[in-house]
Amino acid sequence: MTPKLRVARPTDQLAAVLTFHCDGLGLLELASFVAHNGFNGVMLSHLNAPYHLKFTHQSGHWVGRAPTPDNLLVFYLPDATQWQTAVQRMQMAGFAPVLAHNPYWDQLGLTFEDPDGYCVMLQQAAWVL
């Protein structure tokens, strides 16, 4: 059995973060909840991916921005056409690339910053360990 990964993160800007991840990154909304023990939230993923991104907002609780500019998720897209399509989707959704905090990431990809200051890297490379 392949392990599943869920990355959970609070946000003060749930709607804006959803726009970034759904319209920009092309993630799909898998599930959502409202007023569950004081939290609203949504789970996102790419179709059939072994991961979910969960974003939550707790009314009356402020979480602020990313603690550092090097907080990022990396999506490896080795196919040039697939990578270009992903970059164009981000730009068409109104998100411009930013310089990565670590210049290594700018060599083979582009970084986009979400409304909370967390970055997503679209890396045009295979994931090799």
pLDDT digits (tens, 9 = 90+) for 66-88: 999 899 999 999 999 999 999 99
* CATH number (domain holding residue 51): 3.10.180.10
The answer to whether residues 12 and 52 belong to one domain is yes
pTM for this model (two decimals): 0.93
Query: Assign residue 37 a region: left if phi > 0, alpha if psi is -120 to 50, beta otherwise?
Result: left
Q: Look up the domain containing 108 and give its range.
A: 72-123
Spatial separation of the C-alpha atoms in residues 77 and 81, rounded to whole Å: 9
Q: Could you please report the per-residue DSSP string of 49-108?
A: -SEEEEEEEETT----S-SSTT-EEEEE--SHHHHHHHHHHHHHTT---B--SSGGGGGS
The answer to whether residues 49 and 77 belong to one domain is no
pLDDT digits (tens, 9 = 90+) for 14-68: 999 999 999 999 999 999 999 999 999 999 999 889 999 999 999 999 999 999 9
The answer to whether residues 54 and 76 belong to one domain is no
Number of domains in the chain: 2
Let me know if residue 43 belongs to a domain: yes
Helix (H/G/I), strand (E/B), else coil: 24? helix
